[in-house]
A and B are shown apart, each in its own frame.
Chain A
Amino acid sequence: GAGVSQSPRYKVAKRGQDVALRCDPISGHVSLFWYQQALGQGPEFLTYFQNEAQLDKSGLPSDRFFAERPEGSVSTLKIQRTQQEDSAVYLCASSLATFSSGANVLTFGAGSRLTVL
């Protein structure tokens, strides 16, 4: 597609529910990132994929967070047993090449706003 597509755009969950957030990166983009953006703050890194391989998951805040990209394109971020502190906008971004090449642009989706009641 023309851009990075994320769904759902808005999700309200009751505390304890599981949620799944989907990211469709730009077709052909190798690198995919998930960021968490709390209200009024900058995005914070969660995890990074190069094709289907999850190369870095150091930013995932707890073992309730899980991300996958099984075929190297669409990615899903899953949050189990949601807590109120999980409320945030979850941003997905992709880039054409491996990001370490330093020669490419990171394109963000519009984000999925999660509210946990």
Chain B
Amino acid sequence: GENVEQHPSTLSVQEGDSAVIKCTYSDSASNYFPWYKQELGKGPQLIIDIRSNVGEKKDQRIAVTLNKTAKHFSLHITETQPEDSAVYFCADLNAGNMLTFGGGTRLMVKP
């Protein structure tokens, strides 16, 4: 079945620095790649997504890049703030029309 690998599992950065989280997927038919942020005790919340006909998308301090040839996509957060601390999940929508999630990255932003 579809497999989504996410790295790193934990990431600690200083406030103001950038953070990068990377994911790889296996299903070449995947065409939609969302990123979710999950805070303690809450459900995942969509923060940005990208579709397979686009290579990059940016929304203020967050951006996502997609390399379909290599089957990987990345989340970039610039000028990190303490409130960015959370668990981030990548996911892909594969040919079976189901979202498959990565294992998550715990981001800690130190003030």
A positions within 8 Å CB-CB of B: 4, 33, 40-45, 48, 56, 91, 93, 99-100, 102, 105-111
- Asked whether B32 lies within 8 Å of A102 as measured between CB atoms, the reply is yes
- Asked whether A41 lies within 8 Å of B97 as measured between CB atoms, the reply is no
- Asked whether A42 lies within 8 Å of B103 as measured between CB atoms, the reply is yes
- Asked whether A91 lies within 8 Å of B103 as measured between CB atoms, the reply is no
Contact pick for A108, options B4, B44, B96, B100, CB 8 Å: B44
Whole-angstrom distance from the CB of B46 to the nearest CB of chain A? 6
- Asked whether A106 lies within 8 Å of B34 as measured between CB atoms, the reply is yes
How big is chain B's contact interface, by range?
20 to 34
Q: A33-B99, A106-B46, A106-B99 are in contact. List 5 more A-B contacts (CB 8 A).
A: A42-B91, A42-B101, A45-B98, A110-B41, A110-B43
B64-106 Cβ-contact flags toward A at 8 Å (1 or 0): 0000000000000000000000000101010011111111100
Sampled A-B contacts (23; CB under 8 Å): A33-B99, A41-B103, A42-B6, A42-B101, A42-B102, A48-B98, A56-B98, A91-B44, A93-B43, A100-B97, A102-B31, A102-B51, A105-B46, A105-B49, A106-B34, A106-B46, A106-B99, A107-B46, A108-B36, A108-B43, A108-B44, A110-B41, A111-B43
* Given A4-B43, A43-B44, A110-B43, residue A102 in contact with residue B101 (CB < 8 A): no
Q: CB-nearest residue of chain A relative to B6?
A: A42
Q: Which residues of A contact B98 (CB under 8 A)?
A: 45, 48, 56
Whole-angstrom distance from the CB of B94 to the nearest CB of chain A? 11
